[in-house]
Amino acid sequence: MSSVLKIILQRLALGVLTLFIVSVVIFLAVNALPGDFAQSILGQGATPEAIAAIRKDLGLDQPLFTRYLTWLAGMLTGDLGVSFAQMNFQNSMGGGEMETVATQIAPRLYNTLWLAAVTAMIAVPVSIALGVLSALYRNSLFDRATNIFTLSSISSPEFFLAYILILFLAVLNPLLPSLSNIYDELSFAERFQRTLLPALTLTLVVTAHMMRMTRAAIINLLASPYIEMARLKGMSPIRVIVKHALPNALAPIINVIALNLAYLVTGVVVVEVVFVYPGIGQLFVDSVKIRDIPVVQACCLIFASAYVLLNLTADILSIISNPRLRHPK
Amino acid sequence: MIGISRRGMMKAGAAAGVLAATGMPASAMGKRGGTLRVGLNGANTSDTWDGRTHSDAFMINAAHGCVFDCLTEVAADGTLKGELAESWEATADAKTWTFNLRQGVTFHNGKAFGADDVIESLGMHTAEDSKSAAKPIVSAISEMKKITDHQIQFTLAAGNADFPFLLSDYHILMFPAGMIEEAIQKGIGTGLYSVVSFEPGVRFVGKRVEDHYKGDTAGFFDSVEFIAINDSSARMNALMTGQVDVVNRVDFKTEPLMRANPNVEIFEVTGNQHFTFPMLTGSAPFDDVNVRKALKFGINRQEMVDKILLGHGAVGNDHPIGPANQYYAADLPQIEYDLDKAKFYMKEAGLDSLNVELSASDAAFTGAVDAAQLYQASAKGAGINIDVVQEPADGYWSNVWLKKPWCACYWSGRATEDWMFSTAYEAGVPWNDTGWENARFQELLLTARAELDSAKRSEMYTEMQMLMSTEGGTIVPMYANYVDAHSTKLANSGTIGNTFQMDGSRLAERWWFA
């Protein structure tokens, strides 16, 4: 197992490097956008003096490099800083404690992870089961129907799927609420019920990818000699697939699942907007709009970490699932 | 063609809408009960209870409409009445104002309301680097004197007859003295509803204050829940599926669908918000009044109301005073689309053709670029070639407005004529986006400000509107309506305020469940 440990450490080091590069790129990109926080927050009320005052308060008058280093120094000590919006408010109005970026993001991140978890709980078993079944009954009517359904749902824009689901499950048959505004006081059941529509929408979006990969990976193995052997022994087709093919097909499937889970954490802005779900995506978009760099940076780091960590997990799981990689010669 | 003007249609339509909304003409009194659920846009994660920062629907409805009170209030019918102030009087020069405050009012934390609260709350706006939008109003007060606990005297630097009206502004909320920071954090006001829970950019829940000084005449809901729904389709959906009882800012594209829903009613009013195309009159060719006149006759305002606002508005007349203002000159001759007149003024200016650039971006108002293109097409016949320059939305207000000679712009309007004129049309003010110099206009502005006689003021303001309309430096193609929608379960008095959307942002105070 020491080799696995070594890989984990290596990958984590690379991950940190990735995060560093991401932070530089995002910082430069947000600064390259036209307009800055001062202009966007003042809007029509922007006078040159007011803009200069805000820029000075927030340190936006400093050179790019200095600003980045200040942010990085804070970041390395675990301080994500204070959002521009908060700082600007406090500077002009005075007042008590400042809410840091971390406390601002935490509840939103929690909501996003909750939505991702609910979606994964539905989507992963469904897509693997569908993948196995369509591999088993490949080229049958069932296989074709599954393929057409999942491919058309992945090809449709998310907001369209969302509105279709709202139409059928909220408007025509009022089973679920069309608003998913969740907050602390909700009981677990209410929270789950309100999350269901966005989760179903996301399920439709991610299922095709996982299901198709499962099907392809299994069908690919079905031509192998050992499957032939299993069949010749007289095993039932379902047993051949589940016991012999699936374990060997796990590595690619796990990778695809990891990719889709990362997508669920980072790419669900549209679904959040349609269902008014208070997740991190909405916060991220709001922050980009007003060029609130500390919040944008923090969100991007979270998104990048999600990809790095989930990919790492996927790689480790595929190593563990594959004896040849587990015991390299 | 039918013999009714579009404008007349709109008014009749709005009146019919009001009648339909109430079912029957004004059943005056509401009945208590229920939870009002409101879907609102304009919510931000940086929202707070600090009135100085409020600029969008969510916080204005929550703070001004529920949790806090002002000294004065504009009633649904447009008249001014006292809120935390009971009465007021001025000296003849409109310089010294004495306000009598309401007795027996308490804040949500139990503190009694008095003159000290007023002084400290107003002081919030004048702090040295305060960015409060109400700073110009409050800094006009040179002295605040507490006479008794419930009487206060303001001395203004210059006479202003509108002073009580200005104090109804939604920024100027009354906070408890000595604990303003805490009040901003928790939302402690004197309003009809006290804060139960507030998540910035997500949700606000308020509970009706029992034994409120407004008694049984207002605040009919047991509790209110405001849900932030910035996305317009999601907001419309929420109303259609019955998740909320009322929404603001109806999306014109889905409006026919909403009209088709028997459980939903649309209510709209024409207020003061208007779109403009200001010209910097200091730069050629806009320094020539004949060029400005040619441009005024070269625009088809009705077409813009029909195509940009899809009918939800009224044509403008090149001055910024709207139907929600006291001295709105409704009888002013309307500038019509008339290419012959435009050509005439072109000739007066000694021009055969004119090439001008018009900068626009949807940051100015939704559909600004389309409006500029309509203008381009309508003016072409008079030899006016408008080159529409599409500007980036980011930084539009900093880089284009007040900088480019001609651009698109938006004004939400102001409660009083003087406030509107002195914000954007008084010589030398920073937001003067035309730089229009007219001695008579400037003189009237100062005289009308200190005049207490309503008839004389009306005369002066009419003349000012006339002057701007005929010679001024801005084109006002249209007023945009406030279009909101509610479930048929709700009822109201039959009069809907037009100072702001959602019945002057006081829907939670004025409406009830039928």
Q: Which residue of B has its CA nearest to A99?
A: B46
- Please indicate whether, in this complex, the C-beta atoms of B46 and A85 are within 8 angstroms of each other: yes
Are A63 and A122 part of one and the same domain? no
Number of domains present in the structure of chain A: 2
What is the Rg, in whole angstroms, of the alpha carbon atoms belonging to chain A? 24
Nearest-CA distance from A189 to chain B in Å? 18
Contact of B258 with B236, CB cutoff 8 Å? yes
> Per-residue confidence at B9, pLDDT binned at 50, 70, 90?
very low
Are A124 and A66 part of one and the same domain? no
Q: CB distance from A267 to chain B under 8 Å? A: no
Contacts of B237 in chain A (CB under 8 A): 166, 170-171, 178-179
Give pLDDT, residue B4.
Answer: 40
Q: Is the pLDDT of residue B54 over 90?
A: no
Q: Which residue of A has its CA nearest to B237?
A: A178
Give pLDDT, residue B431.
Answer: 84
Contacts of A94 in chain B (CB under 8 A): 127, 181
Q: Which residue of B has its CA nearest to A57?
A: B129
Contact of B197 with A185, CB cutoff 8 Å? yes
Contacts of B130 in chain A (CB under 8 A): 92-93
**Long-range own/partner contacts, residues B462-466 (CB < 8 A, 24 or more apart):** B462/B327, B462/B329, B462/B332, B464/B319, B464/B417, B464/B421, B465/B317, B465/B319, B465/B321, B465/B328, B465/B329, B465/B332, B466/B329, B466/B332
Give pLDDT, residue A91.
Answer: 66
- Rounded CA-CA distance B361/B369 in Å is 6
Task: Indicate the residue of B39, B52, B231 with minimum beta-carbon distance to A273.
Answer: B231
Q: How many residues does chain A have?
A: 329
- Please indicate whether, in this complex, the C-beta atoms of B45 and A179 are within 8 angstroms of each other: no
Domain harbouring A230, CATH code: 1.10.3720.10
- Please indicate whether, in this complex, the C-beta atoms of B238 and A179 are within 8 angstroms of each other: yes
Strands B384-390 and B354-360: parallel
- Please indicate whether, in this complex, the C-beta atoms of A183 and B398 are within 8 angstroms of each other: no
Q: CB distance from A35 to chain B under 8 Å? A: yes
Q: Which CATH number fits domain B69-180: 1.10.3720.10, 3.30.413.10, 3.90.76.10, 3.90.25.10?
A: 3.90.76.10
Are A125 and A197 part of one and the same domain? yes
Q: Which residue of B has its CA nearest to A276?
A: B229
Nearest-CA neighbor of A276 among A166, A121, A156, A122?
A166
**How many CB atoms neighbour CB B124 within 10 A?**
23
Mean pLDDT by 10 residues, chain A (329 residues): 79 90 90 82 74 84 89 85 77 63 89 94 95 92 95 92 91 87 87 94 94 93 91 91 89 92 88 89 84 89 91 87 75
Q: Is the pLDDT of residue B176 over 60?
A: yes
Q: Is the pLDDT of residue B16 over 50?
A: no
Q: CB distance from A47 to chain B under 8 Å? A: yes
Q: Which residue of A has its CA nearest to B186?
A: A96
- Rounded CA-CA distance B382/B373 in Å is 15
Contacts of A91 in chain B (CB under 8 A): 129
- Please indicate whether, in this complex, the C-beta atoms of A44 and B410 are within 8 angstroms of each other: yes
- Please indicate whether, in this complex, the C-beta atoms of B199 and A174 are within 8 angstroms of each other: no
Non-local (6+) Cβ contacts of A106 within 8 A are none
Q: Is the pLDDT of residue B26 over 70?
A: no
Are A273 and A295 part of one and the same domain? no
Task: Indicate the residue of A39, A96, A104 with minimum beta-carbon distance to B395.
Answer: A39
User: Which structure tokens are listed for A201?
Assistant: 């929408």
Boundaries of every domain in chain B? 1-67+191-263+488-514, 69-180, 270-481
Fold of the CATH domain B270-481: Dipeptide-binding Protein; domain 3 (3.10.105)
Q: What value does the mean pLDDT take over residues B348-368?
A: 92
Give pLDDT, residue B28.
Answer: 56
Nearest-CA neighbor of B28 among B220, B224, B248?
B220
Q: Which residue of A has its CA nearest to B50?
A: A93
Helices and strands, counts by H and E, chain B:
18, 19
Nearest-CA distance from A28 to chain B in Å? 17
Q: Which residue of A has its CA nearest to B400?
A: A44
Range of the domain at A51: 1-99+290-329
Nearest-CA neighbor of B311 among B370, B252, B371?
B252
- Please indicate whether, in this complex, the C-beta atoms of B44 and A174 are within 8 angstroms of each other: no
Q: Chain A 102-161, CB below 8 Å of chain B: which residues?
A: 104
Are A329 and A279 part of one and the same domain? no
Q: Count of CB contacts below 8 A, A vs B?
A: 116
Are A133 and A267 part of one and the same domain? yes
Nearest-CA distance from B243 to chain A in Å? 7
What tens digit of pLDDT does each residue of B435-492 get? 998 999 999 999 999 999 999 999 999 999 999 999 999 999 999 999 999 999 999 9
Contacts of A51 in chain B (CB under 8 A): 398
- Rounded CA-CA distance B410/B365 in Å is 6
Q: What value does the mean pLDDT take over residues B227-253?
A: 89
Contacts of B229 in chain A (CB under 8 A): 179, 276
The whole-chain average pLDDT of chain B stands at 89
Contact of A180 with A250, CB cutoff 8 Å? no
Angle, CA B264 vertex, CA B263 and CA B270 arms, to 5°: 160
Nearest-CA distance from B454 to chain A in Å? 32
Task: Indicate the residue of B124, B241, B430 with minimum beta-carbon distance to A170.
Answer: B241
Nearest-CA distance from B135 to chain A in Å? 13
Q: Is the pLDDT of residue B47 over 90?
A: no
> Do the domains spanning B1-67+191-263+488-514 and B270-481 agree at the CATH topology level?
no
- Please indicate whether, in this complex, the C-beta atoms of B201 and A163 are within 8 angstroms of each other: no
Q: CB distance from A274 to chain B under 8 Å? A: yes
Q: Is the pLDDT of residue B85 over 90?
A: yes
Give pLDDT, residue B25.
Answer: 41
Name which residue leads in pLDDT, B407 or B232. B407
> Per-residue confidence at B200, pLDDT binned at 50, 70, 90?
confident
Task: Indicate the residue of B131, B243, B395 with minimum beta-carbon distance to A35.
Answer: B395
Are A215 and A256 part of one and the same domain? yes
User: Which structure tokens are listed for B240?
Assistant: 């259609």
B381 residue type, one letter: G
Q: What are phi and psi of B409, to 5 degrees?
A: -150, 165
Give pLDDT, residue A201.
Answer: 95
Give pLDDT, residue A253.
Answer: 92
Nearest-CA neighbor of A277 among A209, A201, A203?
A201
Q: How far is CA B501 from the centre of its chain?
A: 8
**pLDDT > 70: percent of chain B:** 94
Give pLDDT, residue B306.
Answer: 94
Task: Indicate the residue of B181, B185, B243 with minimum beta-carbon distance to A178.
Answer: B243
Q: CB distance from A83 to chain B under 8 Å? A: yes
Are A265 and A319 part of one and the same domain? no
> Per-residue confidence at B412, pLDDT binned at 50, 70, 90?
confident
Contacts of A40 in chain B (CB under 8 A): 394-395
Q: CB distance from A232 to chain B under 8 Å? A: no
- The arrangement of secondary structure in B1-67+191-263+488-514, i.e. its CATH architecture, is 3-Layer(aba) Sandwich (3.40)
Contacts of B243 in chain A (CB under 8 A): 177-179
Q: What are phi and psi of B389, to 5 degrees?
A: -100, 115
Q: CB distance from A275 to chain B under 8 Å? A: yes
**pLDDT > 90: percent of chain B:** 71
> Per-residue confidence at B355, pLDDT binned at 50, 70, 90?
very high
- Rounded CA-CA distance B334/B314 in Å is 12
Are A186 and A256 part of one and the same domain? yes
Q: Is the pLDDT of residue B1 over 70?
A: no
User: Which structure tokens are listed for B60?
Assistant: 């204005």
Q: CB distance from A286 to chain B under 8 Å? A: yes
- Please indicate whether, in this complex, the C-beta atoms of A89 and B46 are within 8 angstroms of each other: yes
Write down the ipTM of this complex.
0.81
Give pLDDT, residue B484.
Answer: 94
Distances from the Cα of A308 to the Cα of A8, A120, A282, A302, angstroms? 11, 18, 22, 10
User: Taking the C-alpha atoms of B507, B511, B512 and B514 in order, what is their torsion angle to the nearest 10 degrees?
Assistant: -130
User: Which structure tokens are listed for A282?
Assistant: 């909405």
- Rounded CA-CA distance A166/A173 in Å is 9
* Element housing B482 (H / E): strand B474-487
- Rounded CA-CA distance A94/A77 in Å is 26
Q: Is the pLDDT of residue B13 over 60?
A: no
